[in-house]
Structure formats: structure tokens, C-alpha cells
Chain A
């Protein structure tokens, strides 16, 4: 499974866009990129995923570079409730469907 690298922490002003980067330089052609977040020890919350194309849903946008070696999660208008740990994960190929959660990025949205 491809490993991911994320900054440990980031700050963002309320109302501004939050851009969270992720490096996955060893990703394979059939591996998806998933983004989850965990708010104050609640269960991880699925945000978005993509394979090659950019994706957008009601929560966020996912921009994947053409070579697929990195991606950026964009929260267009961050609110205080978006303060959380954000995990970038490359999809597993193991039978257990196990996701490997690394350290993630701790996003602090400030007023």
C-alpha cells in the first residue's frame, strides 16, 4: 500500500478556504485517494475520494495532480466546526478492507 505524507498541523481563518496537501508519490494506478476527518475523538468521517479526476461534493473538493503523486483537499469556506484531524489515505488492497490511518493534519480554524 502506498504511504502518504501530510503536514502535522495547519491554521486557517474562518470563512477562508482551507487547502490541505497530501503527498502519495508511490501510489499505484488502481489505488484511490480517500480523505477522512476526525473531530474530537468522534468516529472518522468520510469526506471524499477520487482516482484520477478532480472530485467535488457538498463537503469539499479533491484536486489530484496529473501524475497522481499528490492531492489537495479544499474546504471552500472553513468554519470553526471544521477544526479536526484530516487523514489522507490511499486505498488498501488487503482482504480486510483495512484503512491505514497515519498521523493526519490537525487543522485549526480560527475566528
Chain B
């Protein structure tokens, strides 16, 4: 059971380039979300999805797009990379809402550097 798998693990981009961070889970979880973690700081929610075909914005959505065509996959697209997007990106999934007692499971992150 792989859990939440994120690829790539490391990425370096030049300003203005675009790319897609991949996230896949094999636990049949309905909820998926993307967080970013800057050095010495907590996690901030970028986008989330409560099921296939349904996505919504989180706390810091600007500069990122998401789609959820299947239950398993939730890719995060950077449209035009900026140095301010240098961060560690974590994907998470859960069976239900954490408010209802369903814990989040996280991937191991993608470390992105934008020069």
C-alpha cells in the first residue's frame, strides 16, 4: 500500500516556466489537498478537492491551478513560476473531513526551487 505518492521529489525551475506536480493516492480517499511549507513556517493550504470533479481554493491559491478528474490523482500546476513559489509542497488525502475524525495522510513532498 503506497499511500500518497508525490513526484518529482526535487525540481528546479526558471522564472516564468510552468510545470505540474503530481499527486496520487491508492486509499480511495475522497478528500485531497495541496499545502506549501516555507522554511520555519507551518503548512498553508493552496487548493483542495472533496471529490472527483470538485475543487476549491485554499488560503494561498494565486499562481496555481488544480483539477480532479479521478479519485486517485490531484495534480498541481504552476502556471508561470516565480521565486516566491520556492517552497516544499505537500499533498494530503483523507477519507472524510478531519472535522469528523478522519485524519490526513501526507506525501513526502516536492522540493521546488525557482531561480
Binding site for B on A (CB under 8 A): 30-32, 34, 41-46, 49, 51, 91-103
A49 to B100, CA, bound (A): 11
B100 contact set on A, CB distance < 8 A: 91
B106 interface hit (Cβ, 8 Å) = yes
Q: Are B56 and A95 in contact (CB under 8 A)?
A: yes
Q: Are B98 and A97 in contact (CB under 8 A)?
A: yes
Q: Are A102 and B42 in contact (CB under 8 A)?
A: yes
Partner of A96, one of B4, B56, B106: B56
A45 contact set on B, CB distance < 8 A: 106
Extra inter-chain contacts (4) besides given A46-B106, A97-B94, CB under 8 Å: A41-B88, A43-B108, A93-B99, A101-B43
A51 contact set on B, CB distance < 8 A: 101
A95 to B54, CA, bound (A): 12
Q: Are B98 and A32 in contact (CB under 8 A)?
A: yes
Partner of A99, one of B43, B88, B101: B43
B56 contact set on A, CB distance < 8 A: 95-96
Closest to A89 in B: B98
